[in-house]
Amino acid sequence: MGDAPRKNPSDFLGNVLGKPVIVKLNSGVDYRGTLACLDGYMNIALEHTEEWVNGQKKNTYGDCFIRGNNVQYISPLRQ
Amino acid sequence: MGDAPRKNPSDFLGNVLGKPVIVKLNSGVDYRGTLACLDGYMNIALEHTEEWVNGQKKNTYGDCFIRGNNVQYISPLRQ
Amino acid sequence: MGDAPRKNPSDFLGNVLGKPVIVKLNSGVDYRGTLACLDGYMNIALEHTEEWVNGQKKNTYGDCFIRGNNVQYISPLRQ
Amino acid sequence: MGDAPRKNPSDFLGNVLGKPVIVKLNSGVDYRGTLACLDGYMNIALEHTEEWVNGQKKNTYGDCFIRGNNVQYISPLRQ
Amino acid sequence: MGDAPRKNPSDFLGNVLGKPVIVKLNSGVDYRGTLACLDGYMNIALEHTEEWVNGQKKNTYGDCFIRGNNVQYISPLRQ
Amino acid sequence: MGDAPRKNPSDFLGNVLGKPVIVKLNSGVDYRGTLACLDGYMNIALEHTEEWVNGQKKNTYGDCFIRGNNVQYISPLRQ
Amino acid sequence: MGDAPRKNPSDFLGNVLGKPVIVKLNSGVDYRGTLACLDGYMNIALEHTEEWVNGQKKNTYGDCFIRGNNVQYISPLRQ
């Protein structure tokens, strides 16, 4: 995490805004796309969204609103 | 997301009001229809609603009120 | 939704009060009956209630109080 | 519902106090008995309680306190 | 319930304090013992606790603190 | 419970601070160790922690922070 | 726990900031990495993150934001 120093996890999330991320849901499904924005409930808006299940791309959705309480983790997508 | 600039996910949802969307529930079932309105709890009213399970249309309901806490994601339906 | 104009999902529900509806629970069971009343927690009182499982009528209950947090969706029953 | 007119589901429940009811839990188990009292969280005290599983009587408990957040529905027991 | 008159379920629970009870959890496991005390969240302290699974005694714990949100029902243990 | 008189379950927990306990989680896994401290959400810090699954020791962790909402029960460990 | 004396579990967590930890989720998956920071909801930011399933390393993520309500326990990683 060579970006700005971070004191709490929200700072971490601030650092990945506008960048490609993986969003893993409790159901085990991954959503990959550009993190457009998110709010305090971890509701997420992704752009250019892809749906991955067990390592295979299943769908593309373009824009996608993901409800926060299903999110397990968010991580920058390595290019 | 070539629409109005968005700062939080609610703006994203505002942009798809009145448009055809896919609403995926935690149970894995999709509901497709026109997003008539929604509230802060993510409760959703759809019009011309279709119920899809594993990529197959199972039912049509016309109007449908979907309770927010079961929603996994909402995405514009590509025509 | 050719009824009164609606701004939020509660208006939708107001429109189906006193009318036959399907109430689908998270468990997958449908309850069909006349929507007598409901409150802000989506607790529902149905009259002339039928219990349907996988498209088959299993029970009739007359009056039935359904707890809101199990509700997946509510939709007008087409005659 | 030929009893007193009801405006919200709690009125419905008020009407069945002291009467035999079925209480179905999310687990699918039914508890049948006299509805002694209940509170705003849907916590329920039943008297002369019977436990039914898949249509078969499994246990009798006399008095029984049932925690509200497991309740799926409550319905008058038809004699 | 031939004890003191009761207006809400907490009164019922007050009546069984210090008495042998069955505490059934959502997991289906029963805990039997003397109801030492409980609080508003239904957290329970039992004494001389036995753990029963499918009608068979599996463990004895002496004292046991049970977290309220897993409780399905509480009922006096018939001697 | 021959210790100090107790009026609510927290007193019970106060009595086992610094003592060996079993912490059973909703997942069915047991964590055994010395109860270092806990807070109002039932978050628990254990020392010399062992992880037991189906009666078999699987792991030792030394210190371990357990999140409260997964706790099913806490009981003193009999030596 | 030979570090600073601790009165509540948050002190325990304060002691492992900046150190390698195991974070076990309710799903059974382990995430191992350096605990960069966490907040009052147990949301966690890890650095140099590895994903382990059934004792096997499956993925590496570098930075990772984990949502608190899925966390089962956090424990220092023994070198």
Chain G residues within 8 A of A75 when measuring between CB atoms: 49, 61-65
For domain F9-74, which CATH number applies: 1.10.287.70, 3.20.20.10, 2.30.30.100, 3.90.850.10? 2.30.30.100
pLDDT at B4 over 50: no
Q: Which chains touch A (3 or more CB pairs under 8 A)?
A: B, G
| Burial (CB count within 10 angstroms: exposed 0-12, middle 13-18, buried 19+), residue D55 | exposed
pLDDT of residue C37: 94
pLDDT at E79 over 50: yes
Q: Following DSSP, what letter does each residue of D11-29 receive, concatenated?
A: HHHHHTTTSEEEEEETTS-
Chain A residues within 8 A of B75 when measuring between CB atoms: 49, 61-65
Q: Does F77 touch chain G (CB under 8 A)?
A: no
3-state helix, strand, coil in chain D (%, to 5): 15, 55, 35
Inter-chain touch A72–G67, beta carbons under 8 Å: yes
Q: State the Cα torsion B28-D74-C67-E16 to the nearest 10°.
A: -110
Chain G residues within 8 A of A26 when measuring between CB atoms: 27, 70
**Which of F25, F38, F70 lies closest to G9 in CB terms?**
F38
Q: Which chains touch C (3 or more CB pairs under 8 A)?
A: B, D
Inter-chain touch F75–E69, beta carbons under 8 Å: no
Q: Has domain A9-72 been given CATH number 2.30.30.100?
A: yes
Residue range D29-43, pLDDT digits in tens: 999 999 999 988 889
**Which of G6, G26, G75 lies closest to F27 in CB terms?**
G26
Euclidean distance between CA atoms A10 and B47, whole angstroms: 37
Q: Of the segments A49-53, C12-16, C68-72, which one has the largest average pLDDT value?
A: A49-53
Q: Has domain B20-71 been given CATH number 3.40.50.800?
A: no
D69 pairs with which residues across the strands? Answer: none
Residue range F13-71, pLDDT digits in tens: 988 999 999 999 988 899 999 999 998 888 999 999 999 999 999 999 889 999 998 89
Inter-chain touch E62–F72, beta carbons under 8 Å: no
For domain E9-76, which CATH number applies: 2.30.30.100, 2.60.40.1150, 3.30.56.10, 3.40.50.1950? 2.30.30.100
pLDDT at G47 over 60: yes
Residue range B16-73, pLDDT digits in tens: 999 999 999 988 899 999 999 998 888 999 999 999 999 999 999 889 999 998 899 9
Q: Are C38 and D9 in contact (CB under 8 A)?
A: yes
Q: What percentage of chain F exceeds 70 in pLDDT?
A: 91
CA A34 to chain G, closest CA, distance in angstroms equals 16
- For residue B44, what are its two tokens? 């959703």
Inter-chain touch C37–D7, beta carbons under 8 Å: yes
Contacts of G62 (CB under 8 A, 6+ apart): A75, A76, A78, G47, G48, G49
CA A43 to chain B, closest CA, distance in angstroms equals 7
CA C11 to chain B, closest CA, distance in angstroms equals 9
3-state helix, strand, coil in chain B (%, to 5): 15, 55, 35
Q: Are C63 and B63 in contact (CB under 8 A)?
A: no
Contacts of D36 (CB under 8 A, 6+ apart): D17, D18, D45, D46, D47, D63, E1, E6, E12
pLDDT at D48 over 90: yes
Size of interface E-F (CB pairs under 8 A): 62
Inter-chain touch C11–B70, beta carbons under 8 Å: no
pLDDT of residue C79: 66
The pLDDT confidence band at residue C41, using thresholds 50, 70 and 90, is confident
CA G61 to chain F, closest CA, distance in angstroms equals 23
Q: Does A69 touch chain G (CB under 8 A)?
A: yes
pLDDT at G6 over 80: no
CA A56 to chain B, closest CA, distance in angstroms equals 16
Q: Which chains touch B (3 or more CB pairs under 8 A)?
A: A, C
Residue D2: alpha-carbon gap to chain centroid: 19
3-state helix, strand, coil in chain F (%, to 5): 15, 55, 35
Domain spanning G9-54+62-71: which CATH class is it, in words?
mainly beta
Write out chain A's pLDDT in tens, 79 residues: 555 455 788 888 988 999 999 999 988 899 999 999 998 888 999 999 999 999 999 999 889 999 998 899 999 998 6
Chain F residues within 8 A of E43 when measuring between CB atoms: 8-10
CA angle G13, E39, E28 (to 5 degrees): 85
Q: Does B66 touch chain C (CB under 8 A)?
A: yes
Euclidean distance between CA atoms E66 and E45, whole angstroms: 6
**Which of G27, G45, G62 lies closest to A9 in CB terms?**
G45
DSSP-derived letter for residue B14 is: H
Q: Does F69 touch chain G (CB under 8 A)?
A: yes
Q: What is the mean pLDDT of chain D?
A: 89
